[in-house]
Amino acid sequence: MEQLMSILIGILVAGSVYLMLARSLMRFLFGLILLSNAANLAIFVSGRMTSGAPPLVPDGLDTPVGVVANALPQALVLTAIVIGFGLFAFALILAVRAYRSLGTLNTDEMRVAEPKEQG
Amino acid sequence: MSWYLSLPLILPFVTAIICYLLRERAIGAWISVAGSAVGLVAAVALMALVLDHGVVAGQMGNWPAPFGITLVADLLSAVMVLITAITALAVAIYALSDVDARHGRFGYHALFQILIAGVTGAFLTGDLFNLYVWFEVMLIASFGLLVLNGGKEQIDGGVKYVVLNLVSTIIFLMGIGLLYGQTGTLNFADLAIKVREVENQALLTVIAMMFMVAFGVKAAAFPVFFWLPAAYHTPSFSVSAVFAGLLTKVGVYALMRMFTLVFDHDIGYTHTILLWVACLTMVTGVLGAAAQSDFRKILSFHIISQIGYMILGLAIYTPLALVGAVFYLVHHIIVKANLFLIAGISQRLTGGSDVYKIGGLYKASPFLAVLFLIPAFSLAGFPPLSGFWAKYVIVKASLDEGLWVVAFIALAVGLMTIYSMTKIWAEAFWKPHPDGIEPKLATLPGRAALLVPVIFLAVLTMVIGLMPDPFVEFATRASVQLLDSTAYITAVLGEDAIAAPVPDLDDLPTTEILEVEQ
C-alpha cells in the first residue's frame, strides 16, 4: 500500500511540475493544487497506513490494542487542507484580478513591476 | 510563565480585531499604535524573563510536550520578538501619516497586526507544524497588505510573490511529513533527540535539504530570491518597510533554529552548501543592486546581499560566527526598515522613487540627509555604526577558520554596498532636482509621524554602534544556547529528557548489561 501511494505521490508531483512550468498562470495554479495534494498524501503515508483500524480505545483500557491508524498525521493533513484551501482561494482571486487589470495570464507578459526582458 | 509567552501573540490579534471593527474611523490607526506599544512592553517583559531564567517554555492548554503545542523563548527568540515589537511600533507610527483612510477602510491596520502576530508566533513556537501554521498566518496577511493598493504594479508583484511563496510552503509541508515519518515527533526539542536515533542518516540529510530550500525561499537566498525584488518595491512604504525588516528574517531564523537544533548530524555536508549559498547570495544581491536605479529596488537587492551575511554566520558554525549571525540579524532589521521608511519620505518630498529623476533632498533637509547616512553607512559597515561590528565579527570568524576567499567576498560586498549607497546619496540627496522642484521638509503634511520612527531607529543604530559591548555579550550568550541545545531541550521536555535516550549498549561494560538482564 505504501509503495502504491508513493508512486501516486510521484505522479502527482511530476504532473504538477509539468503544469507549473507552463507560462499560463492558471496552469501554474492547477499545478499548485496537485503539489499541495501530493504533500498532504506524503504526510498521510508517513504516519503509517492501516486498513480498517480506527484509533479507538476499548472500554476499561487506557491505550488502543494492536496496530491502529495514527491519528496525528490525519489531523495535520486536515489542517493543511483547510489552510491550503484558503490560500488557493486567494490565489485564484488574485489571478482574476491580474487578468482584469493586466489583460493577460501569460506570466512572461506580466512585466509591469519589472523592466521588460531585452531581446 | 506561559502568559509571558502568549501575550506577545495575543496582543496583536486583539488589536487586529479592534482595528478591523473600527476600520471606518480614523482612530483605527491610533489603536494600532497603542496595541504595538503594549506589545513592546510585553516583549520587554519576556526578554527580562529570559535574561533572568534562561530558556522559558510554556505548554499551551497544559498538554505536556511533545504532544501539545509548546511555546519556547530562548535568547534568540526573545530578541527577535523584541525587535519585531520595536519595528511594529515604528511602522505603526509611520502609518499614521503614510496610510490613508481608504487603505484603513480596506483593513490595513488589522492585516498589519495579524502580520506581526504571525512573525512573533514563528519566533516563539517550539513545534514544527505550528511553525508552518504561523508561516501561513504571516503569508496570508502579507498577501493582503501587498495587493491592498490594487494597482497594476501591486497585482503584478503580488502574483510573483504569492505563487513562489506558496511553492516554498508546500515544500516545507512535505519536509514536515517526511521528518515526522522518520522520527514520529514534531516538537523541536523532541526532534533534536529523536533525529540521532534515525537509522538512515542519509535520508535525514535529504529531508534537511528540503527544509533548506523551503526556508531559503522565505529568506530570499540564492538561487531562490527572485520573488523579493519583483514585489518589495510595489506596496505602500510602510508595508515594504515591515516586509523588508521582518519577513525574510523569519526565514533566516527558521534556518538558524533547524540547522543548529535539529539538523546538526552532517555539518560537513549541509553547512558547506549553506556556505556557498551565503557567498552567492551576497554577491548576486549586491551586483543586482548596482544595476538598479529605483530607491526601493536598490534597497530590495541589498536585503538579499545582507541575508547572505547572516547565512554565512550560520554556515561557518563556530561560536563566534553564530554571534555574528545573531548580531547581524538584529542590526539589519532596524537598519533596513529605517531605510525603507526614509525612501518613503523621499518619495513624498520629491514625487518619485527613481534616483536619477529626483534630487535636492540635502538642500531640502540636511537633517534628513544625516538620518539617511546613519542607516546607509551602517548597512555598508562603516565604523562606528552597528553594521561595522556585525561585519567585523563575521569576517573575523571566517578568518579564524581559514576561509580567506569567503572573508574577501564579505569585505568586497561591503565595498559594493557603499557604491550603491553613494549612488543614492549623490543622485537623490546631493544633485539638484532635474525638474527644478525644491522639496521642503518643513511644509510636508504629517511629517512628525514620518520622522519620529526614523529618528528612533537611527538612534537605536547609533546606540548599538557606540556601545556594542552589551549587545555582543548578549549575542554570545544567545549563540552558546544555539550550539548547546541542552538548556532548550530540558526547558521543554524536563530535566530527565537528555538522560533518557542514552543507553548505547556498546559503550557500557558487558558485565553491567548482564546484571541488568538478570
pLDDT tens figures, B95-121: 988 888 888 888 899 999 999 999 999
Residue B164, min C-alpha distance to chain A (Å): 10
B133 located within any domain: yes
Q: What is the largest CA-CA distance in chain B?
A: 95
Q: For chain B, say whether A35 makes contact (Cβ under 8 Å).
A: yes
CA distance B507 to B518: 19
Task: Residue A116: list chain B partners with CB under 8 A.
Answer: none
CA distance B96 to B27: 10
Of A46, A72, A86, the CB nearest to B178: A46
B479 Cβ contact list (under 8 Å, min separation 6):
B319, B320, B322, B323, B325, B326
Q: State whether B133 and A79 contact (CB < 8 Å).
A: yes
Residue B210, min C-alpha distance to chain A (Å): 12
Q: Provide φ and ψ at A24, rounded to 5°.
A: -75, 135
CA distance A80 to A41: 11
pLDDT band at A119 (very low <50, low <70, confident <90, very high): low
| Residue ranges per structural domain of chain A | 2-50+78-107
B518 located within any domain: no
pLDDT band at B351 (very low <50, low <70, confident <90, very high): confident
Q: How many domains is chain B partitioned into structurally?
A: 1
Per cent of chain A over pLDDT 90 is: 41
Q: State whether A113 and B231 contact (CB < 8 Å).
A: yes
Q: pLDDT digit string (tens) for B252-284?
A: 999 999 999 988 888 888 899 999 999 999 999
Task: Residue B180: list chain A partners with CB under 8 A.
Answer: 43, 46-47, 72-73, 76
B502 located within any domain: no
Question: How confident is the model at residue B1, as a pLDDT?
Answer: 64
B515 located within any domain: no
B350, B436 contact by CB (below 8 A): no
Q: Please state the rounded mean pLDDT for residues B485-495.
A: 85
The answer, yes or no, to whether residue B512 has pLDDT greater than 50, is: no
Question: How confident is the model at residue A12, as a pLDDT?
Answer: 95
The answer, yes or no, to whether residue B18 has pLDDT greater than 90, is: yes
Q: For chain A, say whether B291 makes contact (Cβ under 8 Å).
A: no
CA distance B6 to A111: 43
Question: How confident is the model at residue B502, as a pLDDT?
Answer: 46
Of A39, A72, A107, the CB nearest to B173: A39
Say which range, A18-32, A62-76, B112-126, B229-243, has the weakest mean pLDDT: A62-76
User: Residues 86..115 of A with a Cβ closer than 8 Å to B: which?
Assistant: 86-87, 90-91, 94-95, 97-98, 101-102, 107, 110-114
B245, B331 contact by CB (below 8 A): no
* Segments forming the whole domain that contains residue B69: 2-496
Of B151, B158, B177, the CB nearest to A94: B158
Question: What is A2-50+78-107's CATH number?
Answer: 1.10.287.3510
Residue B427, min C-alpha distance to chain A (Å): 21
B381, B390 contact by CB (below 8 A): yes
Q: Is the pTM of this model over 0.80?
A: yes
B359, B439 contact by CB (below 8 A): no
Question: How confident is the model at residue B517, as a pLDDT?
Answer: 40
What ipTM score was computed for the predicted complex, to two decimals?
Answer: 0.92
| Short-list B42, B8, B86, CA closest to B336 | B86
Amino acid B516 reads V
pLDDT band at A117 (very low <50, low <70, confident <90, very high): low
pLDDT band at A118 (very low <50, low <70, confident <90, very high): low
Residue A59, min C-alpha distance to chain B (Å): 23
The answer, yes or no, to whether residue B369 has pLDDT greater than 60, is: yes
- Per-residue DSSP letters for B437-449? ----STT-TTHHH
- Per-residue DSSP letters for B163-198? HHHHHHHHHHHHHHHHHHHHHS--BHHHHHHHGGG-
Q: For chain A, say whether B163 makes contact (Cβ under 8 Å).
A: yes
The answer, yes or no, to whether residue B4 has pLDDT greater than 50, is: yes
CA distance B469 to A23: 53
pLDDT band at B362 (very low <50, low <70, confident <90, very high): confident
B22 located within any domain: yes
Of B139, B177, B233, the CB nearest to A42: B177
Residue B230, min C-alpha distance to chain A (Å): 6
B440 located within any domain: yes
For chain A, the 3-state helix, strand and coil shares in percent, each to the nearest 5, are: 65, 0, 35
Q: pLDDT digit string (tens) for A35-85?
A: 999 999 999 888 778 777 788 888 888 888 778 888 888 888 999 999 989
B360, B439 contact by CB (below 8 A): yes
Q: For chain B, say whether A5 makes contact (Cβ under 8 Å).
A: no
